[in-house]
Chain A
Amino acid sequence: MKTIAELQAIRDKAREKMAVREGDSDNIRVIVGMATCGIAAGARPVLNAFVDEVAKRHLNNVTVTQTGCIGMCQFEPIVEVLVPGKEKVTYGKVTPEKVAKIITDHLVNGSPVAEYTVGNLMK
């Protein structure tokens, strides 16, 4: 059973980790489109896949956030990746299956997955 005592222990452990992490400047942001168009196209499982995978690989420098409709509904679910000092990359028609590759190639190794980008889908 998940108990409050367990939550308190998680808090204490998290505080130790937070102290180590202070001063993180290389924060990568993953932004998932969460308007009606995105949700209807499957944004929820994509988001959950990102968060689970980021947690599993202990990528402490990655934050996953949301945005509304950015006006390209036909390409939803849309995920934008912002790496500090690099141009924003916009992925379209993202599925949970594509998430692992985006994380490995782009978030970890720094090379965007060209074939999944909206720019490539428009061709």
Chain B
Amino acid sequence: MRELSLNVLDIAQNSIAAGATLITIRVTEESAADRLSITVEDNGRGMSPEQLQKVRDPFYTTRTTRKVGMGIPLFRMAAEMTGGSLDIRSELGQGTTVMAVFTLSHIDRMPLGDIQGTVTALIRLNPQLDFRYIQTVDGASFELDTRKLREILGDVPLNQPDVMEWIGGYLRENLEPLRSQA
């Protein structure tokens, strides 16, 4: 993956596959600590301690179409390359949180890239699910919560083209002033 936002899109797919109805993505940048952290939290079916142990081994998968799982190992590698780490917490029936920490200024840190494209792709493809996207840059933050949008939209789906266009613009306008270095 050439952009961390693509890893985010991919890790969120695990949440969707696990039957999550709410997925929260947080991107937090702290220049003083030289740290970038990305978490994907879901309320999906979660994993047992045994399963979680296996996921910590590379290439574990419950897929039937191929023998290896790549998503988590790739995200872990992207974090470890920068002197960071990846941690997963999960509870059966409760949900899962994947947390990756990066050294912000490390030369091997992939750029965050088009995170807006990731968030809009997730909403477009899964209008029946709810997403929260929270980006924080040195204490200043912006949050998008599709549950709030739904309150306004009522029976109009989130993936209605004009609604999606609005969401894209809303994200762009609100993320830009954060002046992310990631």
Q: Which chain A residues have a beta carbon within 8 Å of chain B's beta carbons?
A: 1-2, 4, 6-8, 10-11, 13-15, 18, 32, 34-37, 39-40, 44-45, 47-48, 51, 54-55, 64-66, 68-71, 73
Contact = CB atoms under 8 A, between A and B. Distances in A.
Contacts of B107: none
Nearest to A40: B1
Contact of B121 (A14, A15, A47): A47
Contact of A39 (B9, B114, B173): B9
A68 B6 contact: no
B152 A39 contact: no
Interface of B: 1, 6, 9-10, 13, 17, 63, 65-66, 69-71, 74, 114, 117-118, 120-121, 124-126, 149, 152-156, 160-166, 169-170, 173
6 nearest A-B pairs in the assembled complex, by CB-CB distance: A71-B65, A55-B161, A2-B170, A66-B125, A36-B70, A36-B71
B125 A47 contact: yes
Contact of B156 (A14, A34, A47, A71): A14
Nearest to B65: A71
SS class, residues of chain A in contact with chain B = helix
Contact of A6 (B124, B126, B156, B166): B166
Nearest to A68: B17
A32 B121 CA distance: 11
Contacts, number: 93
A6 B163 CA distance: 10
B20 to A, nearest CB: 14
17 contacts: A7-B152, A13-B162, A14-B156, A14-B162, A36-B10, A36-B70, A36-B71, A39-B6, A40-B6, A44-B118, A47-B121, A47-B125, A51-B164, A55-B161, A55-B165, A68-B63, A71-B65
Contacts of A4: 152
Given A13-B162, A15-B156, A34-B13, A44 B121 contact: yes
Contacts of B114: 44
Contacts of B163: 7, 10-11, 14
B166 A10 contact: yes
B23 to A, nearest CB: 14
Given A1-B173, A7-B152, A18-B156, A44 B124 contact: no
Contacts of A54: 161
Contacts of B169: 2
Contact of A64 (B125, B154, B162): B125
B125 A65 contact: yes
Nearest to B165: A55
Contacts of A15: 155-156
Nearest to B113: A44
B156 A11 contact: yes
Contacts of A34: 9, 13, 125
